[in-house]
Structure formats: C-alpha cells, structure tokens
C-alpha cells in the first residue's frame, strides 16, 4: 500500500471509529452526511500531522504502538571498537512518532521557549530539520504548561509540523544549583568539591530526596520540581518524546556524591515511569508520548554501566545519555551505556554539538543529538563550515562578497554574503542573527544527514576522517 493510500485508509478507519462512538453515545447510527464530512476532514488533516497525530483516539489513552524504533544499518565491530568484543553501536534507523518519523542519526535543533530565536518553524523545516526540542523548565516559567495544553500541545502551539522533544528540567539542577553552563570539556584534575559554585553565581537550586526547590531566575519566586511534577508539566506540553527527571551533577562532585546521585536518579526514574503510566491512561484522546530514561554517572565506567542497567530495567521507550562528560571519554561513555542497553530503544545524546564529539557519539551508538550551540554561536558571529569555525565579524569579512561557506546550499549562503551578515551583526540588526542561525543549524542537520548516508553506504570511516581533517586543519577557531 502506498503512503497516500495508507493515509486515506487510516482516515477512513478513524471516521468509522467516530461513527461507532457517535452511535454508542446516542443509541442511533451517526448521520451519513456527517460521517462523510468527518471522513473527508480526517483524510485532509491526516496529511498534516499537526492536525491529526497518529494514535490519538477519542476517549482512549494514546496508542503506544505509534512510537517505535526501526534499526536499519549497523557499523561492523572492529579491533578499535569500544563496546563488548569490539562492538561499534553506530547505526541508522527510523524513530516513528505520532507526529512523524525521524531518520537517524539526526540533529535536533533547540527551540528553547517553543521558538528558534529569530527563525520561523517553516524555515527550520526548509533547511532540513526533522524535529525540534524545547525546554520544559522555561515553558513552565512562561507561558505555563496549561497554555500549551489548551493550544493542543507544543507542535501545534508553535506551528511545527513534525516531532518534538522536551527535556525534564533536570538540567536546571546544575545550571541553577552550581551555575555552570557547559561541562563537557572541563579539566577537573585535582578539583573535587560537592558544594562547588561557578564564579560570581548564587546557588538557586537545592536537591533533596524528593526533588528540587529553586528560585526563578526570572523573578526570584520559589518553585518545586519532582518526578511527578516534571511528568505533569511535560504531559501538558505534549511533546512526542520527553525525558525522565534526573539530577545532573558536575565533574567536580566527589565519587561519593556521584554514587548517591545515580541512586537518586534511579529512584526518580521509577517514579517518572509510574506517573507517566498514570497520566497516559488519565489524559485520554491524546497521542502517546514516549518517555526516555536518563543515564548519569559522570566519568565513572562502573557507575555509567550500573545506571544503564537500572534504566534498562524500567519500562522506558528510549534512553538519554546525559550528565557531565570529559571530552576524552565521550565515545567510551556512549559505548559503556550501549553495552548495557537493549538495541530496540533509541538513544539521545544530550547537549552535544562539536563535530568530533558527534562522530565519536554516532560511532558508539548515539541516534539523536541536541544542542543550543549552533544558534547561540551564530548570534555571536561564529560560523560553522566544513573547514572549521570562524568569526564573521573579523575585519577581513567587511569587503568579502562570498557566501558564508562556499558550496553550502542553505538559504543564507545562496542569497547573502559574508560582508552583509557581518554588517548586520555589527549593527545589531535582528536579521544578522537569523541568517547566521539558519546557516549553522543547516550545517549540523546536513552533517548528521551525511553521516547517516555514510553508514548506510558503508563509508563512515572515510567520511569521519576526511571531515575531521578538513574541519580542524586550522585549529578550533579562525
């Protein structure tokens, strides 16, 4: 059956279901003309998944079978493989969600507050983005999860016709508690402190066994997050994929604290699964929302493996690879976790957007990746290209009428020049941030598209080696 026929068949089945429901409610068959109109409407809206997500049935819980992972190609084991017996867990596949499919590996741009800063959802779709991730904590702060629930969920609220993710709010345990933004590449030699605070920061979040109490960075008001509260917020936000509430530690926390944190995150994970199950059955008529457990454990192999086994023992739909990770261990960490996880669950690596890190994570099992870096760097003038990252606001670009990157097919590069984008950013014109963000997001979306094609066609190693050689030939920043 072709796609159009399948879509119309699904719509007709939905119409029959509504006709039966109407007959059951009134005691009489539904009006034929009304049924025909309903079938016509569903056939139309089924082509626009925003209006009719798969697996949503009136009066029934979301159909879990509408979320699944389908694995295609897999990298072969080799002597350099970091997994058991030289296993390399890199693969291609499809994540099927109620709002559409995600072909993996894939980059997930971050629309923090249900918006890409300065870029419309339609433009994100045009540049190749398959899905977007929003921040549950920030949407809780404003406009509030009730608003998104009333609007019909995150995708409809921001007019995004595709799958969506939300995080759990667990990152705020770190960013508000310890004040650090990014810990991946930190050198923590001889630095161990369970009460560490970033320089010039105030501790705004406090962790206890039940959850986290924090002060709002917006207005100083006090709030409380727990496993149950996070699940309640994320269910109302309505993303296709959401994450269990976890504690994100810093690399400077002691081994003892990391052990307690892993145990606490597992206890929170069990509560998330229970609350997710309850809300799924209670909130009828909604599409099923997949829940990923998050594996913590910092740099410790035994803790990462233990955490992975514990998360694997629970009824999660996928896994998030999170936490503070030293750059040198990022591939190893993914492999440790994949050794302990079932292969039918998709794996999301949280907060990664360096080219070498992405290759390392893909090779060792990462399926999807999110990070704010492409947009944030773009707004500040840092442009990602195949030959490295450079600062568009260098004096040399003032008279450069070439595209941001030669050969790039993004909207910015096919319409505008370096000189123009440099001018806009220097003049603080909003268009400058928009054009730089479009290019940077396209760069990472295309990079993952190319990696996916290379795994399917059997030339991953060649693409990796060639890409990294060109990208780092002039250092980290020009």
Q: Catalytic amino acids?
A: 167, 370
Residue 244, CA distances (Å) to 227, 270, 466, 473 in order: 7, 9, 37, 40
User: What sign has the CA pseudo-torsion 164, 351, 242, 337?
Assistant: positive
Q: Which two tokens stand for residue 431?
A: 């268009």
User: Which residues, at least 6 apart from 129, have a Cβ–Cβ distance to it below 8 Å?
Assistant: 107, 108, 109, 162, 441, 445
Annotated ligand binding at 179? The verdict is no
Spatial distance between the Cα atoms of 412 and 442, rounded to a whole number of angstroms:
10
SS3 245: coil
Spatial distance between the Cα atoms of 234 and 224, rounded to a whole number of angstroms:
15
Does residue 166 contact residue 97 with C-beta atoms inside 8 Å? Answer: no
Annotated ligand binding at 235? The verdict is no
For β-strands 100-104 and 91-97, DSSP reports them as antiparallel
Annotated ligand binding at 410? The verdict is yes
Spatial distance between the Cα atoms of 134 and 242, rounded to a whole number of angstroms:
10
Annotated ligand binding at 169? The verdict is yes
In 3D, which of 338, 359, 318 has the Cα closest to residue 468? 359
Annotated ligand binding at 408? The verdict is yes
Beta bridge partners of 389: 384, 477
User: Which residues, at least 6 apart from 109, have a Cβ–Cβ distance to it below 8 Å?
Assistant: 116, 124, 129, 132, 133, 370, 374, 375, 441, 444, 445
Q: Which two tokens stand for residue 432?
A: 């400058």
Q: Which residue has the tokens 């990070």?
A: 371
Annotated ligand binding at 170? The verdict is yes
CA 343 to chain centre: 19
Annotated ligand binding at 168? The verdict is yes
For β-strands 205-207 and 211-215, DSSP reports them as antiparallel
Q: Which two tokens stand for residue 450?
A: 């190319």
Annotated ligand binding at 118? The verdict is no
Spatial distance between the Cα atoms of 214 and 275, rounded to a whole number of angstroms:
22
Pick out the residues of the known binding site for substrate.
167-171, 246, 296, 323
Pick out the residues of the known binding site.
167-171, 246, 296, 323, 408, 410, 413, 439
Pick out the residues of the known binding site for Zn(2+).
408, 410, 413, 439
């Amino acid at each position: 059956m072709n796609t159009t026929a399948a879509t119309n068949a699904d719509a007709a089945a939905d119409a029959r279901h509504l006709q039966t429901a109407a007959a059951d409610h009134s005691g009489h068959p539904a009006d034929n003309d009304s049924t025909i109109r309903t079938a016509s409407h569903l056939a139309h809206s089924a082509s626009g998944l925003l209006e009719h997500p798969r697996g949503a049935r009136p009066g029934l819980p979301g159909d879990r079978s509408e979320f699944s992972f389908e694995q295609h190609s897999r990298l072969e084991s080799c002597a350099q493989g970091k997994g058991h017996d030289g296993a390399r867990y890199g693969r291609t596949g499809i994540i099927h969600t109620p709002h559409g499919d995600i072909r993996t590996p894939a980059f997930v741009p971050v629309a923090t507050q249900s918006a890409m800063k300065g870029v419309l959802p339609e433009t994100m779709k045009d540049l190749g983005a398959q899905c977007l991730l929003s921040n549950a904590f920030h949407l809780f702060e404003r406009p509030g999860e009730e608003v998104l629930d009333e609007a019909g969920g995150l995708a409809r609220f921001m007019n995004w016709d595709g799958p969506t993710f939300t995080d759990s709010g667990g990152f705020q345990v770190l960013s508000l508690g310890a004040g650090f933004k990014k810990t991946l590449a930190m050198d923590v030699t001889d630095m161990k402190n369970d009460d560490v605070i970033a320089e010039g920061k105030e501790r705004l979040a406090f962790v206890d066994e039940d959850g986290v109490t924090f002060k709002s960075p917006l207005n100083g008001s006090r709030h409380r997050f727990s496993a149950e509260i996070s699940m309640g917020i994320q269910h109302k936000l309505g993303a296709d994929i959401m994450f269990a509430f976890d504690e994100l530690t810093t690399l400077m926390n002691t081994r003892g604290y990391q052990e307690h944190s892993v145990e606490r995150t597992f206890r929170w994970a069990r509560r998330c699964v229970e609350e997710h199950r309850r809300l799924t059955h209670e909130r009828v008529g909604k599409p099923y929302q997949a829940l990923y457990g998050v594996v913590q454990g910092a740099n410790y192999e035994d803790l990462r493996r233990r955490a992975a086994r514990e998360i694997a023992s629970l009824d999660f739909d996928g896994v998030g690879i999170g936490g503070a990770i030293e750059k040198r261990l990022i591939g190893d960490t993914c492999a440790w976790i994949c050794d302990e996880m079932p292969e039918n669950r998709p794996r999301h690596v949280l907060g990664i957007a360096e080219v070498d890190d992405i290759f390392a994570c893909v090779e060792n099992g990462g399926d999807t990746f999110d990070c704010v870096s492409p947009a944030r760097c773009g707004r500040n003038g840092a442009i990602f290209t195949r030959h490295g990252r450079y600062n568009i606001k260098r004096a040399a670009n003032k008279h450069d009428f070439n595209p941001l990157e030669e050969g790039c097919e993004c909207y910015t590069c096919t319409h505008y020049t370096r000189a123009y984008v440099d001018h806009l950013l220097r003049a603080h014109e909003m268009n400058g941030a928009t054009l730089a963000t479009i290019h940077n997001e396209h760069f990472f979306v295309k990079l993952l598209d190319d990696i996916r094609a290379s795994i399917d066609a059997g030339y991953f190693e060649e693409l990796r080696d060639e890409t990294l050689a060109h990208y780092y030939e002039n250092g980290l920043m020009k």
